[in-house]
Amino acid sequence: MKESEARLELLEARVRAYAERVDRALAKELKLYSHSRFHEPLSYAVENGKRIRPVLLMLSAEALGCADSSVLGAAVAVELLHTESIIHDDVIDEETSRRSKAPFHVRYGYSASLLSADFVFALILAIATRYDDRRIAEEVSNAALRMAEGEYSELTIDPKAYKLNWDEYLRIIADKTAALFETSARLGALIAGGDDKEVAALASYGKCIGMAYQLKDDLLDWRSKDKIALSLLNTQSESEVVGRMTALAEAHAEEAKMHLMALPRSDAVALLQDLADLTIQRKL
């Protein structure tokens, strides 16, 4: 095994340790609603997630000295918001597979998908009320608003005909994907009691990671149909588009690491730096 591959596997293992804490917190949260008809469908919906957003939240808090369970509620909230967005996205995109299994709407139907997404929003609201700091709820709300705006912008574009420019493309992925990464990092900083400089640095880091993550996703899914990135082919060649997307992903990952320089050195900050590399080196 090459040294770079071994390093990547070690990093993925470290991230999984945080993700497992999120899994346990998710299960605990959903158990509160074990009496509900939504319990089994939502348990299905959250299966096999990468948990990158809640892990980012936890590491951001840990980078400022907060490694206790106070972050887990917010971590669950951002993962649930991501889950809700996936349920809706798969309906809109008419997906037939998600995480190597049937998408939610295929398994439970369109009506149940809409109702389950509503139920998830209620769960998120319930979690947000447990925090005395009203900024927690405000940040989650702002992320949801931006994600909806980004998805709606993408919905109105015909990838076969629309001549999408790079500014539009980056603006859409900043809203539909990077917004929740940015919010996750900012929430971790807020819960940890970070000052304005620390909160801003981590939020900027999160946004850059989110941009790099979506760019990498679009590269990994390049041959999939109906991807907004394909609209870029209406004005440029495939090699030009792929080359620029690759360069942009790498640039955003490097910028993310630059923002971390405003923070004191720690194991959590080092792992956040490594996470930037993982974002663009991953195979899935």
Determine the Cα–Cα distance for residues 207 and 119; give it in Å rounded to an integer.
27
Gyration radius of the chain's alpha carbons: 18
Q: How many Cβ atoms are within 10 Å of 236's Cβ, its own excluded?
A: 15
Determine the Cα–Cα distance for residues 17 and 59; give it in Å rounded to an integer.
12
| Tokens linked to 270 | 């080092």
SS3 (DSSP) at 198: helix
Among the listed residues 143, 159, 144, the one whose alpha carbon sits nearest the alpha carbon of residue 203:
143
| Tokens linked to 58 | 């936890």
Q: What's the pLDDT at 1?
A: 57
Q: Which long-range contacts (CB under 8 A, 24 or more apart) does 153-158 make?
A: 154/228, 155/92, 157/228, 157/231, 158/231
User: 157 and 164 in contact (C-beta within 8 Å)?
Assistant: yes
Query: Amino acid identity of 250?
Result: E
Determine the Cα–Cα distance for residues 256 and 260; give it in Å rounded to an integer.
7
Successive 10-residue mean pLDDT values, the chain, 284 residues: 74 92 97 97 94 97 96 98 94 81 94 95 96 96 97 88 91 97 98 98 98 94 72 88 95 98 95 94 84
Determine the Cα–Cα distance for residues 90 and 203; give it in Å rounded to an integer.
28
Determine the Cα–Cα distance for residues 39 and 36; give it in Å rounded to an integer.
5
Q: What's the pLDDT at 56?
A: 98
SS3 (DSSP) at 223: coil
Point out which residues pair with 271 in neighbouring strands: none
93 to each of 37, 103, 227, how far by Cα in Å? Answer: 26, 11, 9
Nearest-10 crossing angle of helices 72-93, 135-155 = 10
Q: How many Cβ atoms are within 10 Å of 259's Cβ, its own excluded?
A: 21
SS3 (DSSP) at 96: coil
Q: What is the pTM of this model?
A: 0.95
Using the Cα atoms of residue 127, residue 211, residue 249 and residue 162 in order, give the sign of their dihedral: positive
Q: What's the pLDDT at 148?
A: 96
Determine the Cα–Cα distance for residues 120 and 53; give it in Å rounded to an integer.
17
Q: What's the pLDDT at 99?
A: 66
Domains detected in the chain: 3-281 (1.10.600.10)
Q: What's the pLDDT at 16?
A: 93
Nearest-10 crossing angle of helices 52-63, 267-281 = 150
Among the listed residues 281, 212, 284, the one whose alpha carbon sits nearest the alpha carbon of residue 253:
212
